[in-house]
Structure 1
Amino acid sequence: MKKLYFFDFDGTLTYKDTMFLFLNFYDSKKFRLQFIKFIPLFVLLKLNLTNAEKVKKSFVSSILKGQSKSRIEKRAQDFFNSFYPDGIRQNALDFMKNMDRTKTESYLVTASLDIWVKPFAEKFQMQLIATQAEFKNGVFTGNFIGSNCNGSEKVNRIKAVIADKKYDKTLGFGDTSGDQEMLAWVNESHFKFFH
């Protein structure tokens, strides 16, 4: 029996959201400065009065735009080394360790950017479906390729990746409203399963 597993990352497998953690790790001085500037937008976001994708893109861009891909990848690996395994939920680590890899395919499906989640996906032996950072001539433009991988976009990306693959069952794991469409799409859904 062939199974496909789809795991959200932030909050589902991790204890905390990794975007702020990574950006602070990347450049704490710049992070603090930009965070203060963005407080009014974060407040509007909490009140659902502004577009989450735009705010996210602007904030990530304010810290990483113009940085080289090689430097970002180096810092992403450093971040992984400092964050793993303590930042990952113990229940999730146990579950992944005991998965039968011979009959399953696993995907990490996240709104976080591919640049800092990639080392985790590799460690978990999962394929990565994430918000994609755009690079031109080896430099981060501050833009994303396509849409933020959240909500219905998660399902769109999953469908594009699995296309005509044959499988018997799909299982999804999530912890927020941004995972609801994915959890509704799979055969078996688990909400806050590792909490």
Structure 2
Amino acid sequence: MKKLYCFDFDGTITYKDTMFMYLKFYNPSRFRMQFIKHIPLFILLKLKLAETEKVKKSFIGSILKGQLQTKIEEKSKKFFDEHYPNILRENALDFINNIDRENTASLIVTASLDIWAKPFAEKLQMNLVATKAEFKNGVFTGNFIGKNCNGKEKLERIKAEITDSKFDKIIAFGDTSGDKYMLKWANEGHYQFFH
């Protein structure tokens, strides 16, 4: 029996949202300054008067745009080293470590950027389906390649990832409305399973 596991990352297998953590880790003083500047946008977002993708791009770009890919990757590695495994829910980690790898594929499906989610996916031996950071000539442009990987986009990206494979059972784990399409589509959708 061939299984596919799809795990949301932030809040599902981690205790916290990693975007703010990573950006603060990357440059604490710039993070504070830009966070204050972005408060009006965050409020509009809460009121559903702004687009998540635009606000996210603006905030991430305000801290990382123009940074060298090598520096970003180096910082991502350090971020991982500092927060693994403490940031992960113990029961989620146990579950993942006990997956029978024989006839199983596992994905981390996250709206977080690939740049800081990648070391976690590698450590957990999963393929990563994430929002993709755009680099030109080794420098972060502040843009994404394609859409923010959330909601319907999560499902589209999973389908694109597994086009050539057939699975007997698909099991998904999520913890917010951004995971609902993925959870509905799976044979087994688990909401806040590890909480």
The TM tier, using the shorter chain, reads over 0.9
* 1:98-117 superposed Cα distances (whole Å, 9 cap, x missing partner): 11011110000000000000
Letter aligned with residue 16 of structure 2 = K
Residue 164 of structure 1: how far off its partner (Å): 2.8
Equivalence for 1:159: 159
Once residues 172 and 96 of structure 2 are traced to their aligned partners in structure 1, the CA distance between those partners, rounded to angstroms, is 13
What TM-score do the two structures reach when normalised by structure 2? 0.99
SS in 2 for 1:131: strand
Runs of 4+ in 1 over 2 A off after TM superposition: none
Equivalence for 1:83: 83
Equivalence for 2:131: 131
SS in 1 for 2:9: coil
Residue 182 of structure 1: how far off its partner (Å): 0.4
Equivalence for 1:148: 148
* 1:6-56 superposed Cα distances (whole Å, 9 cap, x missing partner): 000000000000000000000000000000000011011111111010000
Residue 153 of structure 1: how far off its partner (Å): 0.2
1:193 paired to 2:193: yes
Letter aligned with residue 158 of structure 2 = I
Residue 166 of structure 1: how far off its partner (Å): 1.6
What TM-score do the two structures reach when normalised by structure 1? 0.99
Once residues 167 and 19 of structure 1 are traced to their aligned partners in structure 2, the CA distance between those partners, rounded to angstroms, is 32
Once residues 45 and 132 of structure 1 are traced to their aligned partners in structure 2, the CA distance between those partners, rounded to angstroms, is 21
* 1:69-101 superposed Cα distances (whole Å, 9 cap, x missing partner): 000000000000111111100110110111101
Letter aligned with residue 104 of structure 1 = T
* 1:135-187 superposed Cα distances (whole Å, 9 cap, x missing partner): 00000000000000000000100111111312101000000000000001111
Any gaps of 5 or more consecutive residues in structure 2?
none
Question: How many residues get paired?
Answer: 195
Any gaps of 5 or more consecutive residues in structure 1?
none
